[in-house]
Structure 1
Amino acid sequence: MKVEKNKIVFAAVILCVVLFIVGYAMMALGGDEEPSIDINQIPVPELGEEQEQYKTKLEALDAIKEERQTNAPSIYDEGFLDSTGVYDPDLMEKKKMRIIDSIYNEGRIDYSEGTYRNPKTGKVALGNTKRDTASTSKKVDDKDPSIEVKELGLEHQLFFASDPMEQPLEMNGTTNAQILVRVDGTQTVRQHYRLRMRLLEDVMINGTVIPRNTAIYGFVRFKPNRAIIAINSIEHSPVRLAAYDFQDGSEGIYIENSFRAEARQEVVGDAIDDINIGGVPQVRSIKSLFQRDNRQVKVTVMDNYQLILKVLKGQ
């Protein structure tokens, strides 16, 4: 019985080895065969997923997924990145020091003395500068660096604590002789339309200081190649001011137009007012025609156009 059991085990092992060799040979030899294409049948790739069908266009649009761009957050604060994109933790301090140094280089304000520096006092004769070069260089070399740092720190503190006084307003009587204004926004005006302007500086009018950027309104009338502007009130105070062109110095704003008929209209209109003859209805029609043409004329004044207001005689 023992001999037969050993034979059976040996035969089973040999059978397993033979089956393994046959299976491996089939796998190895069968994989080298190139796939052949049938001439009468074109191969079609298999679809992994079928395309979804929609009943309406709205459902198809709703099914579209938005592609969101994802940007990785920066590990540095963008406020500390310079123009080249390099991170600098002391960038804000450097900018502040650069601004302060530029103000010091101008040399217009002496914060330690609390006064303005006079640039003329800095001018010295060339001969004196040549003589004093050696002495000044020695003084600079002998100066302690720690004292310079303290002086610089003191100047910085005085700079931030300074409160310069405003210069007093120059007056000529009770009203300034010339008042600079600008047109507030591009405006299209016609006869007797209102033009909005703003002051470019503080002015004195009738003994009252009118601050800068105060709105001023003037009324427009036309002359040949000129738009005349009259100002009758500022801040509810009656005045008599006329606007002069800042470029050519003449009264009104320069405009290019064929305005001879409109200029003659005023004279003819005044003459027709004195005519009152019965049975002549055409005179009224002619007058209304002139008035209608005058109302149709319009002028566009550009934004920030500068004018000079001057006091009329008798003000």
Structure 2
Amino acid sequence: MSLSFTRHRRLRQSAAIRSMVRETVLTPADFIQPIYVTYGEGVKQDIKSMPGVYRFSLDMLEEELLEIVSLNIPAVLLFGIPETKDSVGSSAYADNGIVQEATRLIKSRYPDLLVIADTCLCEFTDHGHCGMVHTYEHDGELCGDVLNDESLELLVKTAVSQAQAGADIIAPSNMMDGFVQAIRGGLDEAGFSHIPIMSYSVKYASAFYGPFREAAGSAPQFGDRKTYQMDPANAREALREAESDVLEGADMLMVKPSLSYLDVMRTLKDQFDLPLVAYNVSGEYAMVKAAALNGWIDEKAMVLEILTSMKRAGADMIITYSAKDAAKWLQDGGR
């Protein structure tokens, strides 16, 4: 019998063939591991909504760093939980701030491990917003407006202090208009023209951030962040945000979250030639962990499939709380 259809299954007949023709390949070099650092001694505190993720005091970082380096993960993303907060987030740009101290420690012990400093104010302000606010009462409730241009000055101070502490990459996540231009100018003026900016270019006002806000203690005390983070319904707006960052001097673009925004990632990859970063955020991690702990899914298979989808959509780097697990699984043969 003569058959005319194409036999696609020929290239799926064995693991060896599938491996040879695989179009998208994950490696530990693709990953960036987030780390939460805090004050105190002997602190390795569980984050209940993110099993396997912890807050570390500086004296407890060594074991975590050693594991990250041994797994050939090239970079960490630092988030800090300060001792005190105020209305202008002064701990974010203090010379002895927790992110600055952690950066110095990491670079002294593991100079080849890239330190990426998250540059925002929300963890450091007593109101939980990503910039300065003008507060007022309305119908007996506290309200506030986030002040864009005034916030830029504080973000520049934060970025410069992080660079002075030894950060290899500055990653501003605040979504203020003009933040890349302001930070680029501030870094250049302070003698850090060689420090790249990994911009949170397309950051949505997402429900997937809930566990992070527990981990970092950064939930807004009033209102929400919808006036500066993007509407999840919008895709074309992402192009405008990214184009602004490109023109202002960003070296890398990011889409956050990633799993529900793979279409946006693909669009940015097709439109711009800068490296693209995916942020596999806390809520995405928590969903998988919860299902795995209930025995409903194969965690290894699902995590690797999710991360592969992000790389297939165009990501050159992936920030993920699963970095260590994924690196171990890949070393053991992956799928």
Fold in common (TM above 0.5):
no
Which entry has the higher C-alpha Rg, 1 or 2? 1
Higher relative contact order (CA 8 A, sep 6+): 2
| TM-score computed with the length of structure 1 as normaliser | 0.15
| TM-score computed with the length of structure 2 as normaliser | 0.15
